[in-house]
Amino acid sequence: MILGDRDKDTICAVSTPHGVGGISVIRVSGPLTLSLVSKLGTFLPTHPESHKIYYGNLISAESGDEIDEVLVSYFKTGRSFTGEEVIEISCHGSPVICQTILNNLIQLGARAAEPGEFTYRAFMNGKLDLVQAESVLSLIESQSQQAAKLALRQLKGTLSQKLESIEDDMTWILAHAEASIDFSTEGIKVVEDDVVQVRLSRIESQLNELVGTFKVGKLLKDGFHVVLTGLPNVGKSSLLNLFLEDERAIVTEIPGTTRDVIHGDTSYKGVKFTFIDTAGLRDETTDLVERIGIQKSYEAHQESDAVFFVYDVESGLSAEELQVLDTLDPQKTYILGNKVDKFKSMPGTDLLQTQLMQSKFFQKIPDKSAFFTRKVFFVSALDKKARSLVLDELIAEVSDLQRQNTVLVSNARHFENLSKALENTTRSKSLVDQGMGSEFLALELKEALIAIQETLGKRFDDQIMDRVFKEFCIGK
């Protein structure tokens, strides 16, 4: 995405979704913006005011035909999204009109913008750092209120500020370490090891905290992917419909009803959930379609954030079900005992505990009592309460972090860089502990600093730019 000379071109693109709409917005950015648009919109004054809207007709410079009745917003250099002179033309939302305006601008000397080029220019002109540029994309793509909130917080710079303060601390230590190297022959100590250790510990704990938020940050950004699994007829599809609040899957009393993987999205307390219903697991089926469905069901487990293992409380856990449980990852498995409506009183966990006791699955759980309070539910697909009962528990961790207003990391690139910075910081600390010279500390900490600076885009190369901006579409 390093465009070199092309950075000085005046670029244009439709910034609203493609297709028919009430209005569409065409964005133009670059040094020739006003002079080019003025050739089509002769109603514009020679010196328009920044952030003001002008109304008039656009006339084709070549044919003299009227193109459309439009509103033109003007943003002067230094006061726009990209930092350059920007005009946004709001025209009627027809692809034909948009294309005619773009063609006219291109004929006059503008160039069609590359994907993400407006945001790229904002970054190059210092309007946004790289973390903020990425949050523009997250905000555009956000599919839930919480994801949008998170992206907006990042766009406003909460994560960037935190990273900058870490960067300051690192720079301080590096400066002192380097000064110590210079004076080392004279036996002068520029800074005591204790002071360095305190700062390193602070950096380490801040990085640790940030890295630790990635799981939740990612869930907020992309939503929870939950797979419903279990033997045939236990009520997986009924529960899917309950969670989605929609009759999405077919429910019958015939075992083996669901044969393919069924997806559906829903939102709970502003968080996006994708539920995946799968074919009931059973060995004896001779039905080829069902077999493939069962295979897909196992594959879906791997990619999910949570697995809901559903069983029928009336019949209890069978040997076959215990076998299936053994194949699941206890970290992300929840057990849903379904069909409690068939009982007069709520069944306790005693029977389940006894049955689970012998299983490999159970042995892999570190905190068994927490498992029963947090991850076992007795529900009925006929009772709507089950939805909030289970989903509240799933978002408990998210809600906690949200309440504390923690800065969250939700982007894989940030996570990788911060994890690297954390490793280097931890190693720096142990070097100081071992009484190694400042040159070793400087070498190690420099790596950590680079990782932070790459995150913020204070250092970048083609590869980093490509990775960030390839996700964008044209007009952003």
Ligand X SMILES: Nc1nc2c(ncn2[C@@H]2O[C@H](COP(=O)(O)OP(=O)(O)OP(=O)(O)O)[C@@H](O)[C@H]2O)c(=O)[nH]1
Using the rule CB under 6 A, which residue among 131, 234, 294, 401 binds ligand X?
234
Residue span binding ligand X (CB under 6 A) among the ranges 100-108, 180-188, 203-211, 227-235: 227-235
Nearest distance, CB of residue 106 and ligand X, angstroms? 55
What whole-number distance in Å separates Cα of residue 287 and Cα of residue 285? 5
Six token digits for residue 1: 């995405």
Using the rule CB under 6 A, which residue among 106, 251, 261, 292 binds ligand X?
251
338 binds, among ligand X, Mg ion, none (CB under 5 to 8 A by kind): ligand X
What is the H or E stretch that residue 228 is in?
strand 224-229
What whole-number distance in Å separates Cα of residue 468 and Cα of residue 454? 12
382 binds, among ligand X, Mg ion, none (CB under 5 to 8 A by kind): ligand X
238 binds, among ligand X, Mg ion, none (CB under 5 to 8 A by kind): ligand X
What whole-number distance in Å separates Cα of residue 414 and Cα of residue 461? 16
Residues sharing a CB contact under 8 Å with residue 369, sequence separation 6 or more, in sequence order: none
Cα 240 to Cα 232, 233, 243, 297, 308, distances in angstroms: 14, 13, 5, 14, 10
DSSP string, 63-116: T--EEEEEEEEEE-TTSSSSSS-EEEEEEEE-HHHHHHHHHHHHHHT-EEPPBT
Is the distance from CB of 101 to CB of 455 less than 8 angstroms? Answer: no
Nearest distance, CB of residue 321 and ligand X, angstroms? 12
Nearest distance, CB of residue 238 and Mg ion, angstroms? 8
Any bridge partners for residue 420, and if so which? Answer: none
DSSP string, 289-308: HHHHHHHHHHHHHHH-SEEE
Q: Which is nearer to ligand X, 56 or 256 (CB)?
A: 256
CA atoms within 13 A on the CB side of 262: 22
Q: Residue 212 region, left (φ>0) first, then alpha (ψ -120 to 50), else beta?
A: alpha
Residue 80 in the binding site for ligand X (CB under 6 A): no
Q: Which is nearer to ligand X, 37 or 390 (CB)?
A: 390
Q: Which is nearer to ligand X, 51 or 342 (CB)?
A: 342
- Indicate if the alpha-carbon torsion angle 38, 43, 49, 52 is positive or negative: negative
Six token digits for residue 164: 């900058």
Q: Which is nearer to Mg ion, 70 or 242 (CB)?
A: 242
Binding mask 291-330 for ligand X (x = CB under 6 A): ----------------------------------------
Six token digits for residue 102: 């773009």
Nearest of 22, 148, 138 to residue 413 by alpha carbon: 138
Nearest distance, CB of residue 227 and Mg ion, angstroms? 13
Nearest distance, CB of residue 396 and ligand X, angstroms? 24
Using the rule CB under 6 A, which residue among 3, 179, 181, 382 binds ligand X?
382
Q: Which is nearer to ligand X, 341 or 397 (CB)?
A: 341
* Distance of alpha carbon 284 from the chain centroid: 41
Using the rule CB under 6 A, which residue among 223, 280, 293, 475 binds ligand X?
280
* Residue whose C-beta lies closest to ligand X: 280
Residue 252 in the binding site for ligand X (CB under 6 A): yes
Residue 237 in the binding site for ligand X (CB under 6 A): yes
Q: Where are the alpha helices (DSSP H) in 125-224?
A: 130-141, 145-155, 158-183, 193-212, 214-222
Nearest distance, CB of residue 256 and ligand X, angstroms? 5
Using the rule CB under 6 A, which residue among 39, 176, 236, 414 binds ligand X?
236
Residue 256 in the binding site for ligand X (CB under 6 A): yes
Residue 246 in the binding site for ligand X (CB under 6 A): no
Using the rule CB under 6 A, which residue among 253, 283, 303, 350 binds ligand X?
253
Residue span binding ligand X (CB under 6 A) among the ranges 112-120, 249-257, 403-411, 460-468: 249-257
Nearest distance, CB of residue 269 and ligand X, angstroms? 24
Residues in contact with ligand X by CB under 6 A are 232-238, 251-253, 255-258, 280, 338-339, 341-342, 380-382
